[in-house]
Structure 1
Amino acid sequence: MNDREEQEDKREGEGLDELGELVIAEDEEELEQEPIPFRLPPKIALFLVAVVGLTLYCSIQLPKTMKEYKVYKQAEALIEKGETSAAISNLDELSNKYPDSTDLSMKLLRLSMQEGYYSIAVSTINDRLYGQKLFAVDHERFTGYIEQLERHLNAQAAVSGFFPFADDQANDEAPSRDEVKAQIYQLLDQSDMDQAYLYYVLSGVEEDLDTILWALQESYELDPELAGLRVKLSVICRRMDRLEEASQYAEEALRKERRDVEALRAMSTIKLATGDLSEGLRYSEEAYRLNPDAENVLSTYAVALYANGEYEMFRSILDDMANKGESPEGNLRRYFNGDMSLQDYYIEKRMN
């Protein structure tokens, strides 16, 4: 949606096309010669013709092979199993193969909006649905999605020039942290902006833990499906010693995407902080299996291995980190040296 006014002019589909009359030609002489004891009532004949027509329409609109049809039909079931990314990705691939199937594209759009995959929703609208004729109920839903996505894109565009903001050592050309915060708060007063996204961005600018948590909770109230939101809430709650809440957010994230590496890592840190060392190791191992190159995954896995006395694998991970130019520093080094407990390493602000 680079040029919204031009795209608005292209929207079509205010309802259904008018259906032409169905006419059945009858030859009375031939009918009399047929040894059939009855004639098919005209209403039933019309119904059967309509069914055949609908079947032919669906054969054109929907995926052709049984495997492809399963992708289309079982997308929701896959999401329920915690494989949201795979479900959306599979539908997107199938929709690329059948770009003229409005039914398939509308399903992809609906699930993308439902699960917070807004970039895929935008491409589905731009590449496959503009100019297509839609049923009335789909047209109404489509219009609502357009409005929601425009607010999201407006907010993204508005904050894109804020980063990176200046710190005390940076030049004067970039805005300061305080200036960025002030501009975000001004944007929050505008109704054409995605408020959930702005609160999420604000949480990355604020430094006080209580204010960060407040901004994230405001974002969650408005749009809990925003990408990365649950994991960020889990991490900040863990840092503030709100471990039950941290666990709930991480569990929500894993129910949505069971292979979410950051959610697995977040759950590992919670388990380690609460003394459930074996579970902490299990979650960190899974995160490491899925993404062995991420620095934060490596460090969490190293902590879990050390806490569980798995020193041989621990040294191997440290060597791996060193080969990548990464080495334990700060609190991580202090923990490995025995100068800091797991609880002190993972919890910054204890509750009174």
Structure 2
Amino acid sequence: MLDMGFLDDIEAIIAKVPAERQTLLFSATMPKAILNIGEKFMTDPTTVKIKAKELTTDLVDQYFVRARDYEKFDIMTRILDVQAPELTIVFGRTKRRVDELSKGLEARGYNAAGIHGDLTQQRRMTILKKFKAGQLDILVATDVAARGLDISGVTHVYNYDIPQDPESYVHRIGRTGRAGHHGTSVTFVTPNEMDYLRVIEKLTKKRMEPLKPPTAKEAFAGQVASALAEIDDLVAKTDDDKYADQAQVLLEKYDAQTLAMALLNQMTKDDASQVPVKITPERPLPRRRNSGKRNGYRGNNKWRKDNRGSRNDWRDKKRGGDRNKKDRSRDRFERRQKGGKRNFTIRTKQD
């Protein structure tokens, strides 16, 4: 939120409050940038940490799906069809990713919108208001835009991109499983990002369960089940007297089964592969290096650093004394000026 411009508002508010005051700063994590802000606006602040055995709640079922970047969108839409979440947040790593995901979901019939730092404050507030009111099913957001969101009723969190910072994962899935309600999180991981998944599991002290991507048939079955539930709600809300005459005309023209199939066809979406959506591949995260020592000469950087000087000294002595590179270059230049080519002695068999 501070990256999105709220720091100026904070400074404006603090400028109006009394000099003698008590200031408290709460955050799930305290990175260096936040600590610097605390020191700027506080006098001799004291840090209070609450250590928990687990950073994530047992009320959130945590899964991961291993897939290549170009496969993730189709797999995610099928999972959405099968799990049928009520209120969902999808996290993307970049602003471009958020824009493409939200537009792609809309193209496939999902009620979705995205927020990030490039949107105006009014636009962000409008989208969040719709999401809180249940008028929006899927909110696509970056980590920065989603920080500090207090929205109840979020049932699912989808990490389309695994975060590079493990603490960001804690913030993400913390949007669900609140106030005693159950939640589900699904993280998409490419094969070269499995090391990041293990680091997150080490931080949260909880193992993620692998989730098998659903097939097109399973996704369609999920769509039909959701459509049937929506039809039940529609029937309960329908004014029978208002449409009685029009319904009778339709029944005389079509049989009940044909009308029911037409309604289901209208309320279900096509398979994920039927509507083409282009998601630009993001630059892959750098591979995490093993913290252990590497074997072999190339890994022994300390030996190379300590002995580089002695090796150079030995080379200089072989060349005729303790001279630096500049001296040797000057000698070569002077030889060329005096006699041009260097003299060589050719030995024959008679010699």
TM-score normalised by structure 1 residue count: 0.23
The structure whose residues are more often helix, as a share, is 1
Whichever structure has more strand as a proportion of its residues is 2
Higher RCO structure (Cα 8 Å, ≥6 apart): 2
- Alignment TM-score, normalising by the size of structure 2: 0.23
